[in-house]
Amino acid sequence: MLLASVVGAAEGLAVGSGLAALVVVLAIGARLAAVTGTPHWARRYQWALALGGMAAAAALAFPVHVHGTLALAAFLGLGMGLFVGMLAAGLAESVAALPVLGRRLGLRAFLPRLVIALALGKLLGAVAALAVPGLWVRPPL
């Protein structure tokens, strides 16, 4: 149980650090503000990304059962969908920054391999989640 806790904490730190680095380096909040035509809301987008990430992490770590109506569930689902959609829009607009980032960090020769490695990792993770029953199921508290 201790090993699982340490591994889980390490995974969380790695993923959280990666997402934070991606958001900061690619200036997702500012790019999202530019895409939506609301540059005066850039700071709010940055806070929404940070708070949304922390809320998602807290919801996964400490599951909370919210009892409410179908309207509440629809509202929460809409908010989650908007969050993911806006983040995806900002990331899609930022894809053009990957070659620039690769040149600045001296990774230009490795960039195609890096993108392929990321795609294969995502694919293998999705296949593992679907193929191995109970792989991502948390133990009961």
The reported pLDDT for the residue numbered 96 is 64
Name the 3-class secondary structure at 137: coil
All structural domains of the chain with their residue ranges: 2-95
| Cα–Cα dist 94/32, whole Å | 9
Query: What are the two backbone dihedrals, phi and then psi, of residue 24, each rounded to the nearest 5 degrees?
Result: -75, -50
Q: For the segment 64-120, what is each residue's pLDDT rounded down to a tens digit?
A: 777 778 888 788 778 777 777 766 666 666 666 667 767 777 777 777 777 787 778
pLDDT at 11: 76
pLDDT value at 56 more than 80? no
Under the banding of pLDDT at 50, 70 and 90, the label for residue 140 is low
pTM of the prediction? 0.49
Please report which residue ranges of the chain form alpha helices under DSSP H: 2-25, 28-36, 42-61, 70-94, 97-104, 111-131
pLDDT digits (tens, 9 = 90+) for 12-42: 777 777 777 777 776 777 777 887 788 888 8
